[in-house]
Chains A and B, each alone.
Chain A
Amino acid sequence: MDPSFLAVQALSGFASASSLFITACGLTLVFGVTRIVNFAHGSLYMIGAYTGATLVPRLLEWSYGPVPFWAGILASAVIVGLIGILIEVLLLRRIYGAPELFQLLATFGVVLVVQDLVVHVFGPQDILGPRAPGLRAPVEILGRRFPSYELVLIAAGPVVLGLVWLLLRKTRFGVLVRAATQDREMVSALGVNQALLFTGTLFLGAFLAGLGGALQVPRVAANTGMDLSVIAECFVVTVVGGMGSVPGAFLAALVIGQLQAFGILIFPKSTLVVVFLLMAAVLVVRPYGFFGRPEIIGGGHAVGIVSRAPSRATLPLTVALMILLAALPLVADAYLLKVAIEILVFGLFAFSLQLLIGVGGLVSFGHAAFFGLGAYGAALAVKWFGAPMEAALPLGLVLAALGAALIGAFVVRLSGIYLAMLTLAAAQILYAVAFQWVDVTGGDNGIVGVWPSPWANERTVYYLVTLVLTAGAALALMRIIDAPFGYSLRAMRDSEARAEAIGLHIRRHRWLAFTLAGAAAGLTGGLYAFSRGSVDPTLLGIPTSVDALTMLLLGGIQTITGPLVGAGVLHALRDQIMPLTDYWRLLLGLAIIAMVLIFPRGLVGTVQHWREVRA
C-alpha cells in the first residue's frame, strides 16, 4: 500500500477525531457534574452547524477574511451555549433527582422539539457553508492533495483539550466542577450555589457542542440528520473513554477517528461496524471505558413495575377482551383494521420493552434494533428464499433473538446509563448497516413485496393472525413476569448486590431477558413488515425506539398493562393529530417533557394510584 495514501487517511482520521472530541467533551463534562446524559447534545451540535452556516456567510459578505470567519464560528458556539443555559433553566433543573430513564426521555423530548424548530427557522434544505478564507487551497502531503482546513481541525482538538484542562485545573470554576463531579451535596454544604455551577457547566457543554457543529460548516452541509448521527458517535466516545473523563474522551476519539479512516478498507460499506467491534472489545476488558470509574455510574435508581396481588378478575377480563378483539372485524372497516393491526403490533413491541425496563430495570434505548431485525429477517427470507409468511415470520424472530443475544452479551455487563447509551449505539449501527449496505438491504428504499401467504392476504384474516400471535406472546411474557424468573429480574433491578448475594446469576438472567425481549420484538417486526408489504431503515431508527419508550411512559412504567394501553392511545393520537400539523415532532417532544415533569405515572399508573389512595 502506498505510504502517501496511508498518511492522508491517518490525517483525515485525526481531523474527524478532533471534531468528535470537541463535541463529546461537552457531553462528558455535563454528565460529570449533572449526572444527566443529555440526549439533546447532538441537537446543540446541529444548531451550531446551522447557525454557523447561516451566520458566517453574512459576516463574510460584510467583510471577507479569516477574522470574520472565525468570529462567526465562535459566535455560533456562544449562541448555542446560551441555548444550553435555556435548556438547563427550563428543563434539566427540574429533573436532576429523577430516575435516569426520565432524564433520558425528557432530553430526547428536546431533540424532537429542536428537529421541528430547526426546519422552521432554517428551512428544510441542507445548508452548505462557506470555505474558510485563507484555507481554500489544499496542501500537498507526500504528493497528495489534502484540504488545509482539515489541518486546522487536527490542531483544534488538542487546543480545546488544553484549554479545557487549564479551565478545570487552574480556575475556581474548574475546581468546583471537579469537586461537584465527585460530591455535589458536599460542595453545596461548603457554600457553593449548585444552580449557578450547573448552569455554567451547561453553557460550557453546549458551547463545545456548538463549536463542534460550527467547525463542520466548511466540510459538510448542515442537515437535519446530524443530531442523531453525532449523538450516537458521542455516546460511543464517552462510553469507550469513560463517562465524565475528558482525557478519556480525547483518547477514544483518536482511536475511533483512525478506525473509521482505515476501517473503510475492511468494511467499505459501513465503518461503524468497526467502531462497534472496538467498543465491544474495550468493554470486555474495561467495563467502564479507558478512564471511567464504577462509582461515577452507580447510584442510579430504576423505576419499574410494582408488585401487586394477583387479581381474580384477570382471567375473565382477559377472555372478555380477547372475544371483543376477535369480534372487531364484524364492525370495523378496512382502515380501522389496519390501525388495529398496528396497535397490536406496537402494543407487543412496547410490552417486550417493558420486560427489560419495568421488570429488569434495563433501560434500553435501542429496542428498535430487534423490531428492525425481525422485519428485515422476514423480508430477506421472502426476497432470497422466496419463503412463505409461515416460514419468514419465525426466521425474522430467530434473527432478532440472535441479534439480541449477541448485543445482550455485551450490554448486560453494564447497567444504568451505560446500558442505555450502548443499546442506542448498537441500534444506530444496525440502522447504518441497513442504510449503507444497499446490495443486501436495498438501502434507503428498503425491500418491497413482502406480502402474507394467499390465505392470510385478506385484511380480516391477517388481523386475526396478528391478534393470535401478539396476544399469545403477550400472555407468555406476562406469565414470565410472574414466574420466578420474573421475580429474580425484579430483585436484581431493585438491588443488584443483594440479588447477587442470594445466589442469582445476574448477567445470565439479564442476558436471557434481553434475548426474550428481542425475540418478541422480532415477532412484531415481522408482523409489521407483512402488514405493510415492505421494510425500510426507519424501522431500526432511534425514533422507533423512542416510540416504544413513549408508549411505556404514556401507559405507565410501573404497570404491566400500561404499555399496551400506551400503544393504543399514542397510535390513536398520532392518527388524529399528525395529518393536521407540520409540528408533530414538536408536539410529541413537548408531550414527552410534560409527561416526565407532571405525569410520570402514566395513564394506567395514575388510575391504579387513585384506586390505591381511595382504598
Chain B
Amino acid sequence: MTVLLDVQGLSAFYGRAQVLFGLSFHLNAGEVVALVGRNGAGKTTTLKAIMGLVEARSERLSYKGGSIAGWPAYRVARQGLGYVPEDRRIFTDLTVEENLEVGRQAPRGGHQAWTPERLFGLFPNLAEMRGRRGNQMSGGEQQMLSIARTLMGNPDAILLDEPSEGIAPVIVQTLAEAIRTMKQEGVAVLLSEQNWAFAAGIADRACVIERGEMRFQGPMADFLADDALRAETLGV
C-alpha cells in the first residue's frame, strides 16, 4: 500500500493559542481513515492545516511524495487533495450545476474522470435539481452537493469534515453509501467525525484525537472493541 498523505509533527495555532500538538498520522491510497474525537478536539483544525487554511507548522507534510507544507489552498487542491468543509459552504447564489463547475479540474491519470452525470448517479437527489440554487436546498442536499463539487476536481484523496452533522438519518445512510462507492473508485478519504457509529460503518482505521494530541491509531475494529478508550475520548 502506498502512503498518499503523510503528516508528521503537525502543530497549529490560532493567534497565540496552540490547538494542535505535534500530530503524526498517514493516509494510504484508497483507504478510509476516521479522525474521531470530541467537539473541539482539533479535528477540523487538522484538516484545515493540511489544506493550508490555518497557520501551521510540521516536521513533514507531504502528499503523493512531495511536500505541500506552506502551500496555499489552491495549490494543495490542484495537487489532487480535495476538501469538503464541515459547514458545506455551498455557493448559495449558484445553481447545482454551477457549483459543480467551480470545483472542476482536469482529469488525473489513473481514475475515470468525474462528470456531473456520474455524480448525479452517485447522488440521485441532485439529478432532480440541477438548475436549483444552493439557497433552496436542504442541509442534506447541500452536503451531497459539497462532496460532489469536490469530486469534480478528480482528487486522489478528500478531507471530509463532519459530513453527518445536522443531517437527517435517512440522508446519512446515502452519504455512507456514497463514501463506500468513492472508496471503490479509488478515492482515499480522511473523515473527521464525532458520530462514531457512522464512522464505524465506513472507516478502515481510526485516529483518535484528544485536546490536540493523538491518543490512538489502529484498525477501526480495535477502537470499537475498546470500550474504555471510547468512553474516555468520546464519552460514549
Contact = CB atoms under 8 A, between A and B. Distances in A.
A185 B73 contact: yes
A175 B94 contact: yes
A175 B98 contact: yes
B115 to A, nearest CB: 15
Interface string A165-191: 000000010011011011101111111
B73 A189 contact: yes
A576 interface: no
B142 to A, nearest CB: 13
A223 interface: no
Interface string A188-225: 11111110000000000000000000000000000000
Nearest to A172: B101
Interface stretch (B77-85, B199-207, B228-236): B77-85
B101 A189 contact: no
A186 B93 CA distance: 14
B52 to A, nearest CB: 9
A188 B150 CA distance: 12
A172 B103 CA distance: 11
B43 interface: no
Given A175-B98, A175-B101, A179-B102, A188 B93 contact: no
B149 interface: yes
A188 B91 contact: no
Contacts of A191: 74, 77-78, 103, 105, 153
Contacts of A185: 53, 73
Nearest to A186: B89
Interface in A73-127: none
B51 interface: yes
Nearest to A194: B74
B102 A190 contact: yes
A200 to B, nearest CB: 14
Interface string B140-156: 00000000011001000
Contacts of A187: 102
Contacts, number: 58
Contacts of A179: 91, 94, 98-99, 102
Interface string B83-124: 101000101111000110111110000000000000000000
A175 B102 CA distance: 7
Contacts of B91: 178-179, 182-183, 186
Contact of B83 (A178, A181, A189, A194): A189
A189 B94 contact: no
A65 B223 CA distance: 81
B51 A189 contact: yes
B72 interface: yes
A190 B153 contact: yes
B95 to A, nearest CB: 9
B224 to A, nearest CB: 32
Interface in B20-57: 51, 53
A182 to B, nearest CB: 5
Nearest to B152: A190
Contacts of A192: 74, 102
Interface string B153-182: 100000000000000000000000000000
A193 to B, nearest CB: 5
Nearest to B92: A182
Given A178-B93, A179-B91, A183-B89, A188 B74 contact: yes
Contacts of B73: 185, 188-189
Contacts of A189: 51, 53, 73-74, 77, 83, 85
A192 B150 CA distance: 12
A175 B149 CA distance: 13
B78 to A, nearest CB: 5
Contacts of B98: 175, 178-179
Contacts of A190: 74, 77, 83, 102-103, 149-150, 153
A248 B217 CA distance: 55
Q: Point out which of B51, B72, B73, B104 has the most chain A C-beta atoms below 10 A from its C-beta.
A: B73
Contacts of A188: 72-74, 77
Centre residue among A175, A186, A194 by max chain B CB count within 10 A: A186
Nearest to B83: A189
Nearest to A181: B93
For A185, A186, A189, the residue with the greatest tally of chain B CB atoms inside 10 Å of its CB is: A189
B215 to A, nearest CB: 28
Contact of B102 (A176, A193, A194): A176
Contacts of B149: 190
A611 to B, nearest CB: 21
Contacts of B77: 188-191
Nearest to A171: B101
A193 B94 contact: no
A192 B93 CA distance: 18
A190 B89 CA distance: 11
A156 to B, nearest CB: 27
Interface in A126-183: 172, 175-176, 178-179, 181-183
A186 B85 contact: yes
A181 B98 CA distance: 14
Contacts of B85: 186, 189
Contacts of A183: 89, 91
Given A178-B93, A186-B89, A191-B78, 6 more contacts: A172-B101, A175-B102, A189-B74, A190-B77, A190-B102, A190-B149
Report the 4 A-B pairs with minimum CB-CB distance, sorted nearest first.
A191-B77, A186-B89, A179-B91, A189-B73
Interface of B: 51, 53, 72-74, 77-78, 83, 85, 89, 91-94, 98-99, 101-105, 149-150, 153
8 contacts: A179-B98, A179-B102, A186-B89, A186-B91, A189-B51, A190-B77, A190-B83, A191-B78
